[in-house]
Amino acid sequence: MIDVKIMPNHCALRLAHYELLDTSEYSFAATEPIRKLHKSLSVYNETPLIELKNFKGVRSIFIKDESQRFGLKAFKGLGGVWAIYKVISRELGLDNPTLEEIFTHRDELAEMTFITTTDGNHGKGVSWAAGLFGCKSYVYMPRGTVEVRAQAIRDAGSATVEITDMVYDDCVKFTASLAEKNHWHLIQDTSWAGYEEIPAQIMLGYSTLAYEALRQMNYQRPTHIFLQAGVGSMAGAIAAVFAEVFKENPPRVTIIEPTEVACFYETMRIGDGQIHSATGNGQTMMAGLNCATPCELAWKILRRYAADTATISDDVAAEAMRVLAEEKIISGESGCAGFALANAALDSDELRRALELDEHSIIFVINTEGDTDPINYQCVIRNA
């Protein structure tokens, strides 16, 4: 069933008048070392930005296509490699080292182990980045994960991968306890009280894609940004960059989640400023967005800068995957979600009004993954 729900962020409405948020760590100057690291990687290429002009009556939709990032089919490696680089630099006592400097410490690198929980793409980034530096890595996955995603993580780099019978949140707790017991480095892309340093770096790592897109748009201000969320780290980071760059008039940000796993929807509905877990049945093909609890750090940004939150059903995502395929953009189940909201909302007068979309609107979305589950991708595309 086609199902889209939109709700204003009650917290943003309440907090906007008194809560100032310092986003200066996301400024162009502060994030320069991150872009420098990314650009020094042999697999680095700026990913494409595609403009669909006059799409369903809006002026433009800009789609930042991350489906080819670092050859990993998703954006997530941007955060993983930056966080691992920061840990390695600290462990080796080096300040902003080049890759060449790091590689002179091969024996110490071989002794370092990284661990994470993932529903796919983040683990691929960690496996790849750990492998790149010659470090060991362990990746644990929640129940329901398809084997093809586990194998892609093994193939990407150094990881030993296991699909567990735990749900995502329990799996995160399990890997955190393994990290502590074995003195391994936990590279988790979500934060909680007492675990913020690494997720903060992972989020900063995503700034590269936002600054690439801004340059590709000639720093034109989008009126709307539609960002899909699992734990919200990506959405928080991108919202922070745009809030920093367009300080006087930040674009309107909408968060998108699967109907059955909508923790930001629940958090913004309750509107008490605290995070709240999703209440749905957890069933969705949008595997990367199947996270029941928001990242605290991301929430601190989004409660201020997200104007609204939307939920979409799997059918809405599937339709968007097919529309993007016609535009020659390979977009996976989670990858298409930002575009999916635009695609569905523009067919409905009610949703258009709720999002204040008109012929002047310029929408920015991110295709966060390609066909990371190629079998399901083909099924969805052929159903057209």
Which residues are annotated as catalytic?
A: 76, 119
74 binds ligand PLP (CB under 6 A): yes
Give the one residue of 47, 67, 228, 311 binding ligand PLP; rule: CB under 6 A.
Answer: 228
Enumerate residues 6+ apart whose C-beta is below 8 A from 223.
251, 252, 360, 361, 362, 363
Determine the 3-state secondary structure of 329 from DSSP.
coil
284 binds ligand PLP (CB under 6 A): no
Enumerate residues 6+ apart whose C-beta is below 8 A from 255.
227, 228, 229, 232, 235, 264, 265, 268, 302, 306, 308, 309, 310
336 binds ligand PLP (CB under 6 A): no
Nearer to ligand PLP among residue 65 and residue 112 (C-beta): 65
- Closest distance of CB 125 from ligand PLP, Å: 9
235 binds ligand PLP (CB under 6 A): yes
225 binds ligand PLP (CB under 6 A): no
Among 328, 360, 324, 337, smallest CA distance to 285 is for 337
Among 194, 184, 168, smallest CA distance to 130 is for 184
208 binds ligand PLP (CB under 6 A): no
- Closest distance of CB 342 from ligand PLP, Å: 16
In sequence order, the β-bridge partners of residue 227 are 255
121 binds ligand PLP (CB under 6 A): yes
The closest residue (CB) to ligand PLP is: 288
Backbone φ and ψ for 40, nearest 5 degrees, come out as -80, -10
- Closest distance of CB 283 from ligand PLP, Å: 17
334 binds ligand PLP (CB under 6 A): yes
122 binds ligand PLP (CB under 6 A): yes
Enumerate residues 6+ apart whose C-beta is below 8 A from 379.
none
Give the one residue of 241, 291, 351, 354 binding ligand PLP; rule: CB under 6 A.
Answer: 291
368 binds ligand PLP (CB under 6 A): yes
Structure tokens at 348: 């409905």
- Dump the DSSP string for 52-76: EETGGGSSEEEEEE-TTGGGTTBTT
- In the complex, the residues that contact ligand PLP under the rule CB under 6 A are 74, 76, 119-122, 189, 228-235, 288-289, 291, 334-335, 368-369
